[in-house]
Amino acid sequence: MLPTLQNKDRLFVVKNKEPKRYALVTFQPREKQGESYVKRVIGIPGDRIWMDQNTVYLNHQMAATNPTPPNEKNLSGVELPDGTLKVRVTWEVAAKLKGMSTIPSNSFFVLGDNRKNSTDSRELGLIDQDKIEGVVTFRYYPLARLGLIE
């Protein structure tokens, strides 16, 4: 999570708090029981998503009632709606997201701040709310970096 967090940072986590967009959350990945990841919430339930092969387009400004997103069969050269995030995912994640038009309730799309070296929704897919342990609110160690996490 560099530059936001560094190894050995100590954090307070509020359990059972509803994650909001851009909040840092901790969660247990399905494949690695006993481990805990810290990632930033980028997509929340109800956000529009669409696919182009293994690229996910995510837009929180488009309501589900808005017209359909750009033609999924040919996105090259298309001007994307304002606020659209383009993220390349693994083919396995692309297969799970295929056919979805919104992020389902109780699911979140998360990314690490250090995008070049992060295991996040690009590899793990959507994160279920019941896997989220809590929302990171405060760093208490090291003392030189003490403070609220936003």
- 17 and 36 part of one domain: yes
Per-residue pLDDT reduced to its tens digit, 96-138: 999 999 999 999 999 999 889 899 999 999 999 999 999 999 9
Domain range enclosing 91 = 48-102
In whole angstroms, what is the distance from residue 135 CA to residue 41 CA? 10
- Above 90 in pLDDT, residue 29? no
| Number of domains composing the chain | 2
Contact predicate 35/17, CB 8 Å: no
**Domain endpoint, select from 102, 123, 141:** 102
Q: What's the token pair of residue 128?
A: 């279920």
Name the pTM for this structure. 0.86
Report pLDDT for 76: 55
Per-residue pLDDT reduced to its tens digit, 49-90: 999 999 999 988 875 555 566 655 555 556 777 888 999 999
Report pLDDT for 34: 80
